[in-house]
Amino acid sequence: MSGGVTRRSIVLAEVLAAATRWLAQDPDPRTRAELEDLIGRAEAAGGDEAAGELARRFDGRLQFGTAGLRGPLEAGPNGMNRVVVAQTAAGLARYLRGEGGDPSIVVGYDARTNSRVFAEDLAQIMAGHGIRTTLLPSALPTPVLATAVRRLDASAGVMVTASHNPAQDNGVKVFLGGADGGSQIVSPNDERIAAAIAAAADEDISTYARASAFRIAGDDVVDFYVDATARRGVPGAEPLRFVYTPLHGVGGRTARRVFVAAGFGDPIVVPAQEHPDASFPTVPFPNPEEEGALDLAIELAHSEGAGLVIAHDPDADRLAVAIPAHAGWRRLTGNEIGLLLGWRAAARTTGRGGSLVASLVSSPGLAEVARLHELSAVETLTGFKYISRVPDLLFGFEEALGYLVDPDKVHDKDGISAAVEFLSLAAEARDRGVGIEECLEELAERIGGHASAQVSIRVESTDGIRAIMHRLRTVPPTALAAEPVQTASDFANGHDGFAPSDLLRFTLAGGARVIIRPSGTEPKLKAYIDVRDDRGTGAERLEHARARVAEIADDVRILLREGHE
């Protein structure tokens, strides 16, 4: 017993020492008070709960995930706070200096809690380390920052955002210029940047050089993005009547400027979600993929007699669409939007060739579109850091509402450019007397009826995710929805030419496909289901495929939750 107490005491002493060192360098009054409270309660008798919380916060540090850092706003190396941001800035600055030349960087930020504070810390430390630094003039969408990296020929870009994560999160997303063309970071650069950050974290942040000699970008950076994006618009014979929501994010002002400049007019905006609000008061999760996120927009569209709903996530790099259906309205899947936009991109190539690109978990229907138009079809691992790097890219997408429609301007997903393309598609369809559902049926006549679904479960910890993936690897399913599993592929050590990835793929005897992987941005386990059907008319093909997807999804939900609840 005494040995156990001693070991616990030693661990607690180490955690308290680490927390005290952290506290001494933390410049933020809020996180300082938070940490002082935890330390005080952990030192008091019966402070096991506070001690456990301190241990959680100091048992590691945020790791690079999808192109950067993302986590809850809280004190300690496992959270997003001014100390972590300063360490990240110093590490990235030293990495850029190590690359030689005269490095430069563009820093952008959204409207989340502390985003501007983090961005100013980044800019000061970058400038203090001799990096030519430009700070965007206000809270702006991520695609504006990604475009600015190329427009200003910067060595790198940093966007302070947690995209569509819950309100309590924030993050830092990193882009590289030069030969990387303004794309998100990939290996080995992410490992090298992470190592530089870890080395910087051994120093007190008060010793980092800081300077105020950074430039605030002019409005011309935003004007360029607006003008270039608006030029893609094809408004049609009559104005479209559509509802728009930025979901309390930063997309509203920029998107509305683009819509007007492109000839679509000012949309009907959801009043309660029009302005940036870091608390996201009308949605539990500010993610347009989530059930209920578009309810207010759909209600408004119904009352106003609009024919379309356009929605962005809080940093406007993702696009969601809802359309009138036989019984009310329905939200299009990311794959439906991707196939329609891919079809439009392919039809406009005018024989110049190129590649249509989809991530591994997205609809295989895009490859059918490419074959019909004699274009290259490419699959990548999940993430636009891979999609954007495919040579001769014409169009790329992934089913999580991400679309790259304008590779000459931006090498990342862009919800505003994608909205312009979709509005153009809708206007062209309206002018020939059809709706979006009919467009999907026409596409099914050409490439087969493709339907998809995503099943996901929230998991409290990464240990829970690992346990489920281990179970599925050890005892894979033999059948789903009464259909035998024909092949089971594990990508953990690489597969089919792909780099190692925590991903499982099950192909059923009838050709349906189920892919299971952890989310790269949220504590979720995700399953992606795809079915193709060639029976009957386009409408019948879609009906058959959707029914089969629903059957398989029911079994996949059971499969993921076995042993979890």
Question: Domain for residue 53, yes or no?
Answer: yes
On whether both 71 and 81 belong to a single domain, the answer is: yes
Residue 316 region by backbone torsions, left for phi larger than 0, else alpha for psi between -120 and 50, else beta: left
The reply to whether 231 falls in a domain is no
Q: What is the mean pLDDT of residues 119-142?
A: 98
Q: What is the pLDDT of residue 189?
A: 92
The pair phi, psi for residue 116, each rounded to 5°, is -65, -40
Region 145-172: what's the mean pLDDT?
97
- How far apart CA 20 and CA 438 sit, in angstroms, is 63
pLDDT above 80 for 3? no
Closest CA to 247 of 299, 308, 320, 305: 320
In the structure, what pLDDT confidence band is assigned to residue 45 with cuts at 50, 70 and 90? confident
Rounded to an integer, the average pLDDT of 119-123 is 98
Is the confidence at residue 480, as pLDDT, over 90?
Answer: yes
In a domain, 226, yes or no: no
Instruction: For residue 542, give the CATH number of its domain.
Output: 3.30.310.50
Contact (CB, 8 A) for 363 and 542: no
Percent of all residues in the chain with a pLDDT value above 70, rounded to a whole number: 97
Looking at the structure, do residues 182 and 204 belong to the same domain, yes or no?
yes
From CA 311, how far away is CA 255, in angstroms rounded?
A: 10
Asked if residue 370 belongs to a domain, the reply is: yes
What's the rounded Cα separation, in Å, for the pair 236 and 225? Answer: 22
Q: What is the pTM of this model?
A: 0.95
User: Is the domain of 297 the same as that of 386?
Assistant: yes
- The pLDDT value given to residue 462: 79
Q: Where are the alpha helices (DSSP H) in 99-170?
A: 115-128, 142-151
Q: How far apart are CA 130 and CA 106, in angstroms?
A: 14
Q: How many CB atoms lie within 10 A of CB 59?
A: 12
CA distances from 269 to 46, 223, 238, 273, 305 (A): 52, 22, 19, 8, 13
The answer to whether 403 touches 414, Cβ cutoff 8 Å, is: yes
Confidence of residue 8 (pLDDT cuts 50, 70, 90): low
Give pLDDT, residue 9: 73
Are residue 456 and residue 410 in the same domain, yes or no? Answer: no
* 277 in a structural domain: yes
Average pLDDT over residues 180-187: 93
Report pLDDT for 203. Answer: 97
Contact 308, 426 (CB under 8 A): yes
Indicate the pLDDT class of residue 519, thresholds 50, 70 and 90.
Answer: confident
How many domains in the chain?
A: 4
Q: Cα(519)–Cα(283) distance, rounded to whole angstroms? A: 20
Question: DSSP characters for 369-380?
Answer: HHHHTT-EEEEE
Residue ending a domain, among 218, 246, 261, is: 218
Mean pLDDT to the nearest integer, 103-108 = 98
Question: Do the domain assignments include residue 225?
Answer: no
Co-location of 436 and 465 in the same domain: no
Quick one: average pLDDT of 154-161?
A: 98
CATH number at residue 167: 3.40.120.10
Contact 8, 16 (CB under 8 A): no
CA distance 233 to 500: 40
Arithmetic mean of pLDDT, 426-441: 97
Confidence of residue 66 (pLDDT cuts 50, 70, 90): low
- Point out the catalytic residue in the list 104, 115, 155, 163: 163
Residue 480 lies in a domain: yes
Q: Does the annotation mark 163 as catalytic?
A: yes
pLDDT digits 0-9 by tens, 248-296: 999 999 999 999 999 999 999 999 999 999 999 999 999 999 999 999 9
Helix or strand run (H / E) with residue 554: helix 538-561
Asked, for residue 533, whether it belongs to a domain, the answer is: yes
62-76 mean pLDDT:
86
Site of tokens 């430069």? 104
Distances from the Cα of 374 to the Cα of 128, 407, 444, 565, angstroms: 51, 20, 18, 48
**What mean pLDDT comes out for the span 518-522?**
78
Q: DSSP state, 59?
A: S
State how far the Cα of 243 lies from the Cα of 331, in Å rounded to an integer.
Answer: 13
- Among 24, 41, 59, which residue terminates a domain? 59
Question: Which residues lie closer than 8 Å to 48 by C-beta, 6 or more apart?
Answer: none
Q: What percent of the chain shows pLDDT beyond 90?
A: 90
Are residues 194 and 72 part of one domain? yes
Handedness of CA 440, 445, 448, 449 (dihedral sign): positive
Residue 225 pLDDT > 70, yes or no? yes
Q: Which residues contact 50 (CB under 8 A, 6 or more apart)?
A: 37, 38, 39, 40, 41, 42, 44
Mean pLDDT, residues 345-370 taken together = 94
**Cα dihedral sign, 424-428-434-439:** negative
Q: Which of 522, 537, 565, 562 is nearest to 70 (CA)?
A: 522
Beta strands in 308-424 (DSSP E): 308-312, 319-325, 328-331, 355-359, 376-380, 393-398, 402-404
Query: Which two tokens mark 353?
Result: 């060739």
439 contacts 202 by C-beta, under 8 angstroms: no
- End-of-domain residue from the set 191, 218, 245: 218
Torsion sign (Cα): 411, 149, 84, 94: positive
Same domain, residue pair 399 and 480: no
For residue 342, what are the domain limits?
236-447
- CA proximity to 135, closest of 68, 27, 229, 211: 211
**Does one domain contain both 296 and 323?**
yes
Mean pLDDT to the nearest integer, 339-365 = 94
Same domain, 55 and 70: no
The answer to whether residue 158 scores a pLDDT higher than 90 is yes
Whether the pLDDT of residue 7 is over 90: the answer is no
Mean pLDDT of the chain: 95
Three-state secondary structure readout of 263-327: CCCCCEECHHHCCCCCCCCCCCCCCCCCCCCCHHHHHHHHHHCCCEEEEECCCCCCEEEEEEECC
Tell me, yes or no, whether 361 and 403 share the same domain.
Answer: yes
Same domain, 344 and 459: no
Do 338 and 364 sit in the same domain of this protein?
Answer: yes
- Cα–Cα dist 439/453, whole Å: 19
pLDDT confidence tier of residue 6, bands split at 50, 70 and 90: low
pLDDT of 2 above 70: no
